[in-house]
Structure 1
C-alpha cells in the first residue's frame, strides 16, 4: 500500500513525523502545531475519512491500527520521530491487555523501521505503590515496553490535563455543574498536580528537538499541588456556583463509576477506571523537566480560566 504523496515528499528534505492518536484530544490539538513546522506530518488513523477534514492538505493520513502490525510497517516507513498518544481504555473492557499488545506491536515496528525517537504521554504515579490503579499501572507499562524496543523513548508522565475537551476535566466539570451537593470519598483529598493542555503540547513539541541521547522519563505538572476537591471548588468559584462537598469514608470504585455514568457524558467503564486512579497521589517527584525544557507551566487557576474560555467560545460558535 503506497503512502500518500510519496513522490512529492521524497523531494523534500524535511523529517517525517508520525502521529498516532491523532483523533484523540491531545493528538488533535497537536496536529496544527506540528503542521506549522518544517516537517512532513503523517497521521495514523483507523478511519482516514473522518480525520481528513481536520488536517491540512499536505498532511499525510495512513489507514492503520496499532493492533494491526502490517499497517504499522507501512505507516512507519521513513519516519524519524513517532508520537505515541494511544490509550485504549475508552474502547475496551480489557484495556490493559490491549494497551500492552498495541505497545509491543508499535515498539517492534518502530525498531524495524529505524525510527530514531518515540515520544509518549503517560501518567504520573509512584511505581513502588502496591495499590497503583490498573489505569496508571498500564500507562507505566506502555512506557517500559517502548523503551525496551531499543528506540530512544521520551516519556512524559502527567496527571489530569486541564483543557476544554479533556475527558478528566469534562468529568469534573459535569459533576460540578450538575450536583449542588456532592457525596465525595475521602480520597478526593489525594494530592495531585494537574497540567494545562497548552503546557502538555509545549513539552511534546520540545521533545522532538532534544539532542539525541538515551531514553528518559520526565514528570510534568503545574506548580500547584492541590486535591481534586480543590479543583472542584476552584472551578465552582470561577463559574459562580455554590457547591457543598460532603466527604464519606468509603465510595467504592464500582459505585463511583456507576455514579459518573449517570451524571456525566462518560461511559461507566471509563469513569470507573478514572475514579480508581484518583486514589493514587499523582505528584511530580522528579523535577528534571524544569532543567531540560524551557516550558514553565501555568498554575491551576489560570489553567481552569483558559479551559473555560475555550469551552465558552466553542459553545458560542456551535449553531
Structure 2
C-alpha cells in the first residue's frame, strides 16, 4: 500500500451533506486549509445560515438526492477533485434503509460519469453477525458507491462525541433529565467513542493522503467502553447521580419509543441509533491511526469540549446572533429543537402576506385563537411575565430589535421571513417563525415554533402545549392566507 502525505495544495471539493452535524464542522476546516468548497444541502435556506456561508472560497448549492437529480449532480461534479459523501436518511422514518440506498445509487451513477479523483465517505462501524437497519444501510451505501469505479475511501466511526452528535445528545439528555433509567441489558455493548475533533482531522487529511485503490478504514477513540460506562462517566462530569436499572425484556424498539419524552433528538434518528447501540461496535478493520497517527483524545476531554461549545447553537444567523437569545441559553437546554407548525400553499401574493405578517400581535392579535393567546398571557403573568402588555412598533415595517408584545424580532427579511424570540416565562428557549416561499405560480406560507427544552421540565412543557400548537398554527396559517386575499388555500406537504 502506497502511503504518503502530499504537499498541501488547494483542491476543488464537493461536500454532499454540508448542513449536517459532521458536514457543518468539516467545511470550515477545509476552508481553513485553503480548499475551494461547493457545499450542498436540500435545505438551502438553512445552509445559508451557517457561520461560514460568506467565506470567499465556498459556494452554496441546493441538492435533493431523492428523485431526478442526475443533471444537478452532473453540473456540481464538473471540475471537482474530491467529494465528501456525508448524508444519511435516519430522519426519513421507517423507510430510511431504502431511501439511503436509492440516493447512494443516484450519486454512484453520477460519479461513474465524472472525473472525480476520490470520494471520502463517512460510514459506520459494523458489528459482527446480525446488524441494525441503520448500520446495514451505512455498509450497503459504501458498497454502492464503490460500484462507480471511483476511488472510495470509507472512514467508519461508531459513537462520535461532540456538540450535535445524535448519539452524544441522546446520552446527555437522558443523563441530564432522568434520575433513574430503566434500560435494556445491551447497554453493556462495547464501542470506541471518538472525539469530533479527531473525526474532522481524519476526514480533512484524506484530501492529500496518497493511497492506492479503495479502502475501508476505522476511526476509533483510545478506549473501548460500554454505553453504560459512558453514561456514568458523563453523569460524574456534570455532578449528576443516575441509577441505571437493566431489564432483559426491554427491546431496542421499546426503548426507542420512550425516547421522545427524555430527549430533544428527533425520534426517528434516536430510534435508529438505539437499534445500532444494541451491538458491540468494536471492529478489527484497519485503524486509520496506523496511517495517520493523531494525539489521543480521551472520553472526558471530548465531553468537556462538547459541553463547552453547546451554546454555539444560538450563536448563528438562525437566532440573528441576538444577545438576549445568547444570554438566555443554558448548557442544560436540549441541543436539538422540538418543532410544531403548519404550511399552506396559497395564491395570495407575497406582498400581501408580508404586509399582514407584520401586523402580528399588539391590537391586531394573532389571526386565530386569540383567546388562547390571552390565556397563555395570563399564565405568563402568574409567573411574573409581561405577556399581557400589548405593544407593537409604530409604522408599517418591522425591524430587527423591535418588540411585539413579549416577543422580540431577531430576523426580518422582507417578503420572506420573520423570526420572533419567545419572551414568555417557560422552561426553555424558543422562537416563532413566519416564512414565505414564492414559487411563482403560488406561495407557501409556513408558521412554525421551535423549542429547545430546559431539561425534563422543558420537554413536559412542550408536550403539554402540543395540542394547542397543532390547533392554533393550522388556524393561523389559513386565517392569515384568507386575510391576505387568498382564493386558493391547500395544506402544503411540508408537515
TM-score (norm 1): 0.91
Runs of 4+ in 1 over 3 A off after TM superposition: 312-317
Structure 1 residues 270, 253: closer, same or farther in 2, change over 3 A? same
- 1:272 corresponds to: 271
- 1:201 corresponds to: 200
| Distance in 2 separating the partners of 1:33 and 1:176 | 31
Query: Which of these residues, 42, 49, 52, is aligned with residue 38 of structure 2?
Result: 42
- 1:171 corresponds to: 170
Larger radius of gyration: 2
Structure 1 residues 258, 66: closer, same or farther in 2, change over 3 A? same
Q: Counterparts in 2 of 1:285-300, with a 5 A limit?
A: 285-300=284-299
Which digits, 9 at most, give the CA deviation of each residue in 1:110-155, with x for residues without a partner? 12111110001111123x51x2111101111111111121100110
Structure 1 residues 268, 38: closer, same or farther in 2, change over 3 A? closer
| TM-superposed deviation, 1:183 | 0.6
Which SS does the other structure have where 2:223 is aligned?
A: coil
- 1:21 corresponds to: 17
| TM-superposed deviation, 1:14 | 4.3
Structure with the larger helix share: 1
| TM-superposed deviation, 1:250 | 2.1
- 2:81 corresponds to: 80
- 1:114 corresponds to: 115
| TM-superposed deviation, 1:270 | 2.1
- 1:256 corresponds to: 255
- 2:134 corresponds to: 135
Check the 8 A contact 1:44/1:75 in 2, yes or no: no
Structure 1 residues 70, 92: closer, same or farther in 2, change over 3 A? farther
Check the 8 A contact 1:218/1:289 in 2, yes or no: yes
| Distance in 2 separating the partners of 1:237 and 1:92 | 34
Structure 1 residue ranges without an equivalent (≥5)? 1-12
297-306 or 158-167: bigger deviation: 297-306
| TM-superposed deviation, 1:287 | 4.1
RMSD value over aligned CA atoms?
A: 1.8
Structure 2 residue ranges without an equivalent (≥5)? 1-8, 316-322, 328-495
Are residues 1:145 and 2:141 paired?
no
| TM-superposed deviation, 1:274 | 1.1
139-148 or 48-57: bigger deviation: 48-57
- 1:66 corresponds to: 65
Check the 8 A contact 1:20/1:84 in 2, yes or no: yes
Check the 8 A contact 2:35/2:57 in 1, yes or no: no
Check the 8 A contact 2:216/2:286 in 1, yes or no: no
Check the 8 A contact 1:221/1:284 in 2, yes or no: no
| TM-superposed deviation, 1:165 | 1.1
Which SS does the other structure have where 1:199 is aligned?
A: helix
Structure with the larger strand share: 2
Are residues 1:52 and 2:59 paired?
no
| Distance in 2 separating the partners of 1:59 and 1:315 | 22
TM-score (norm 2): 0.59
| Distance in 2 separating the partners of 1:77 and 1:49 | 24
| TM-superposed deviation, 1:184 | 1.1
- 2:185 corresponds to: 186
| TM-superposed deviation, 1:267 | 3.1
| TM-superposed deviation, 1:314 | 5.7
| TM-superposed deviation, 1:212 | 4.4
Structure 1 residues 301, 14: closer, same or farther in 2, change over 3 A? closer
- 2:98 corresponds to: 97
Which digits, 9 at most, give the CA deviation of each residue in 1:212-239, with x for residues without a partner? 4200011111110000000100110000
- 2:472 corresponds to: none
- 2:234 corresponds to: 235
Whose RCO is larger (CA < 8 A, sep 6+)?
Answer: 1
